[in-house]
Amino acid sequence: MPFDHFGNDIEILERNVNGRRVRVKWDWGAFKNTDGFPVDDNLINWAIGQEQALKECFLCLDEWVHKLKTLEQLKWYESWSNPDKPKPSAKTVISPGPYLLLLGDPGTGKSLIGRALAEKLTQVYRENGIKLSDILCWKNRTLPSQPKISIEKGGEGKKTLQTEQMRELKRKFITKVGIKTLQILLVIMGLFLIGLGFYFMYQAWQTWQENPMFLGEPIQEYYSNNFLDFFIGKFVGLVPATFIPGGSLIFFGFFMWWFSKIGGLSNLKGVGGAQQSDTPKLIVDNSSGHVPFVDATGHRSAQLFGSIAWDPYQTGGLGTPEHQRVSAGDVHMASLGILYIDEIKNLDPEEAVTLLTVLEEGQLPITLRGRWHGGDTAAMAVSTEPAPAITFLVGAGNFDSIGQLHPALMDRIYGYGKVVRMNNDMSNTVENRRKYVQFVAQEVKRFNFLPFSREACFEIVEEGRRRSDKRDALSTRFRPLISIIKTAATLAMNEDCKIVERRHVQEAVENHCKTIQRQILEHDMSERGKLLEIKPKGVRLGQIHGLAVVRDPYSGEMTGSVLNVKAHMIKRSELSRDYTFRGYYKVTGVAKGQTFISDSIAKVRSVILQKYGVDIAQDYLTHIDFAQSYAVDGPSAGVTMTILLCSLIEGKPVRQDVAVTGEINLGVGDSVQITAVGGVYEKIKAAEAWGFKKVVIPQKNYEYSVDANDYKIEVVPAATLDDYLKECLVEKPMMKIPIQTYKRRKL
């Protein structure tokens, strides 16, 4: 490996490390591993190869900051500072936009840019004095089903909540002390009355012993010396005045104590263990000072726009009050920050329209949302005042998102924001190879791995070049490369190495970090190889091997595949029977109703007509079969079918150790051009794995993508159909199959 792949100069690297700006001298010509390479703390500098996308993002940030400065001057928050004040019409204050829609393949850094923008906004807000806001939900004493909303400066919401909680605690304390005092008084009064009753009974006993005169005779004689009659008479007179009221007072005192212990008297539990309380609820907390970044990918209505919890204790007002059951949505928590939605095309139409309202008005009431509606309970009637939702939307998706996104939402993004294309690759320059070293160092720091050697870094660069499918480019789809870095580092750690070496990266690429399609290909080769009609040796008439690719639906990576294609042709005039119909042209094993393969099939017919002056659909009975294949699609099948038919028409067999790919085109004059196709690297590697000796590819692909050092197989460029025929057909013609032989086979 040449020593100057990363250059030989000394570069001054400026980075933000642990909150400080540092300058590090890095000798690109002498560095041996990534140990000591400074990694920037700012995520915005982690986005590699997306310079144009970042420029568009920064323009949107500038517009966003200007919008917030204007809102600060208008003191938009004053109408929300008091929960009892009426809320303004948002359209008169808050202007829509800006928004971002990032489109690109998976792994190109869309979510990284979203997080980096939130981090950048934190710095910009501090420089421009822009304050974040907390949102509180208050009880509406007049109409409890319409809780009130207020906002405070970031961090002040907790203070307001603590103040209100102290008031609530004081009120509860006073109430509790009053109840305790009442309980004690009731018990004391009850005990006093019962004691008084016993005292009166004692007095009755004393009176009996003294035997005073009663109605002119001694009391004992009056009651015939029956003390029980005397005592019962006294007791019956005392019970209503002492024992009954005293016992009642004691009973009520203990009942109040017992009821308070089991959760009564303002202590009934409701949703999430919350208790009855008139204090506000802090539904959005920005006390950290960091601009909120909310990843709402895959969230449904209740998560996106907020909801009202259903409380089974709510009947009769025994559970949690309405304002305590309010939960803010992503759009509220992302207010004045970033709302990131990946695969934004998957939003339901109802959700897209609601999001459109948020983007236009900058506010949204919180009410019960979702398909199940909480069981259709009284929670459906609860709806708060409009809560601020001034969000910077960053949507992301693949390129097909444009056609699948709700038209009204897409129109607003085009009108008030920007649609940005993410790069799949960048130029293979010294500067960008150095960025790959930066990328490796970032992942090493993030996962706390061993440093990578210089040679290991270059192997990662080479893998990035191969994955770009271009000779002079590097892939910016970094997520698959992260898997390779992690696997290589793990292999090195298992061997107790000090650094990750090149062989670890090569082992990770070749043996461990394979797509499922590549694993299926290897399975076909090892397990089904004897069953597949792929034998790369000898020559045969009417059979050729073409190359295709399969794309992983999740990672987007491609894996090559070899197709066995067979054909049969016979002139209609050579048939013994007198057929009244014309010939036919059938292709089986291909995808039905697909435009790519349909166009290729049509072009093959026209090219043969142009080259030989025969119509394979009228003058011949022609059948092409992609053997042991199903749903083959794509333009690269065109040259495979054309060479196969040329072989039959000229009677020249096809070399079976040669595989081909390329798109056939209508010729101009005597030349039929073969144009470039995609996935060339994966196709060549598949042919190499099957043991083919040669691969013929379009010349443009060879000039643009191929580095011969990447392959052990011979790769031959070809520009025209004649160039392909020279490489594939054996020049010595074979004797055509006589019609009698055809008859015997048919019989």
pLDDT at site 553: 64
pLDDT at site 724: 92
Confidence of residue 328 (pLDDT cuts 50, 70, 90): very high
| Class of residue 157 by CB neighbours under 10 A (exposed 0-12, middle 13-18, buried 19+) | buried
pLDDT at site 378: 59
pLDDT above 70: residue 537: yes
pLDDT digits (tens, 9 = 90+) for 175-224: 778 888 888 888 888 888 888 888 888 887 888 777 777 777 777 777 77
CA pair distance 402, 680, nearest whole angstrom: 28
| Mean pLDDT, range 497-501, rounded to an integer | 94
pLDDT above 70: residue 272: no
Confidence of residue 379 (pLDDT cuts 50, 70, 90): low
Confidence of residue 433 (pLDDT cuts 50, 70, 90): very high
Residue 40 gets which letter from DSSP? -
pLDDT digits (tens, 9 = 90+) for 466-491: 888 788 899 999 988 999 999 999 99
CA-derived radius of gyration, the chain: 42
Confidence of residue 20 (pLDDT cuts 50, 70, 90): confident
Q: What percent of the chain has pLDDT over 70?
A: 87
pLDDT at site 173: 78
Give the dihedral sign, CA 244/247/250/254: negative
Confidence of residue 228 (pLDDT cuts 50, 70, 90): confident
pLDDT at site 563: 86
CA pair distance 406, 400, nearest whole angstrom: 12
Greatest mean pLDDT among 361-365, 439-443, 608-612, 624-628 lies in: 439-443
Tokens of 516: 């499922």
Confidence of residue 313 (pLDDT cuts 50, 70, 90): low
Strand 620-627 and strand 584-588: the pairing is parallel
Confidence of residue 455 (pLDDT cuts 50, 70, 90): very high
pLDDT at site 744: 31
Three-state DSSP class for 669? Answer: coil
Give the dihedral sign, CA 525/529/531/535: positive
Confidence of residue 445 (pLDDT cuts 50, 70, 90): very high
pLDDT at site 493: 95
CA pair distance 275, 325, nearest whole angstrom: 11
pLDDT at site 265: 47
Q: What percent of the chain has pLDDT over 90?
A: 22
HSE-up (13 A, CA, CB side) for residue 250:
13
Of residues 448 and 41, which shows the higher confidence score? Answer: 448
pLDDT digits (tens, 9 = 90+) for 286-302: 988 889 999 999 888 88
Confidence of residue 109 (pLDDT cuts 50, 70, 90): confident
CA pair distance 282, 284, nearest whole angstrom: 6
pLDDT above 50: residue 384: yes
Contact 684, 713 (CB under 8 A): yes
| Mean pLDDT, range 588-608, rounded to an integer | 78
Three-state DSSP class for 575? Answer: coil
| Mean pLDDT, range 538-566, rounded to an integer | 81
Of residues 599 and 149, which shows the higher confidence score? Answer: 149
Confidence of residue 585 (pLDDT cuts 50, 70, 90): confident
pLDDT at site 740: 34
Tokens of 116: 């980096």
| Mean pLDDT, range 4-10, rounded to an integer | 84
pLDDT digits (tens, 9 = 90+) for 620-667: 888 988 877 665 666 778 889 899 999 999 989 999 999 999 988 887
Tokens of 445: 């720091």
pLDDT at site 377: 60
pLDDT above 60: residue 551: yes
Query: How distant is the alpha carbon of residue 318 from its chain centre?
Result: 40
pLDDT above 90: residue 457: yes
* Residues with catalytic roles: 636, 683
CA dist 135 to 129, 335, 354, 363, 390, Å?
19, 10, 20, 12, 12
pLDDT at site 600: 81
| Mean pLDDT, range 509-522, rounded to an integer | 79
Scanning 108-150, the segments in alpha helix (DSSP H) are: 110-128
Judge if the upstream peptide bond of residue 98 is cis by omega within 30 degrees of 0.
Answer: yes
- Tell me which residue has tokens 């295709």: 548
pLDDT at site 745: 31
Contact 570, 651 (CB under 8 A): no
Tokens of 685: 């590697």
pLDDT above 90: residue 696: yes
pLDDT above 90: residue 404: no
pLDDT above 90: residue 584: no
Confidence of residue 595 (pLDDT cuts 50, 70, 90): low
- For the chain, the average pLDDT equals 82
- Tell me which residue has tokens 């900058």: 362
- For 703-727, the DSSP string reads HHH--GGG-SSEEEEE-BHHHHHHH
- For 169-184, the DSSP string reads HHHHHHHHHHHHHHHH
Strand 584-588 and strand 674-675: the pairing is unpaired
Three-state DSSP class for 514? Answer: coil
Greatest mean pLDDT among 239-243, 335-339, 546-550, 551-555 lies in: 335-339
pLDDT at site 373: 47
Three-state DSSP class for 573? Answer: helix
| Mean pLDDT, range 147-154, rounded to an integer | 90
CA pair distance 48, 37, nearest whole angstrom: 16
pLDDT above 60: residue 91: no
